[in-house]
Amino acid sequence: MYFLNIEELGDDPTRVNSVEAESGTQVLFNNHSISVQGANDGTLIQVYDLNGRLIGQTKTAAAGITKLAVPSGEKMLIVKVGEKIVKVVNK
């Protein structure tokens, strides 16, 4: 058995803090905010805690990055961008 292209994953190789929700759309959870980049204008962004409670929502404005503040202490959240759903973990 051989391994090619081995890559260092850092301290927590299971952590995912940035994901692609749909083609060209990225979701990033960092500190106390969710950032969504590349979603179509007017796309609904909803953020849920792990108990399924809606903790924030907004719509994207013009092209660019849309930020949404989230309560402190949250380590993992579910983010719905349009019809795509992703789970993100705080850095």
For residues 24 and 14, what is the distance between their CA atoms, to the nearest angstrom? Answer: 23
Is the pLDDT at 20 greater than 60, yes or no?
no
Type of residue found at 14? T
**pTM (predicted TM-score):** 0.72
- Residue spans of the domains in the chain: they are 18-89
Instruction: Tell me the CA distances in angstroms from 30 to 16, 56, 65, 88, one per residue in order.
Output: 11, 15, 14, 10
Q: Determine what percent of the chain is predicted with pLDDT higher than 70.
A: 73
Is the pLDDT at 58 greater than 70, yes or no?
yes
CATH 2.30.30 holds for 18-89 = no
Mean pLDDT value across the chain: 78
For residues 44 and 57, what is the distance between their CA atoms, to the nearest angstrom? Answer: 7
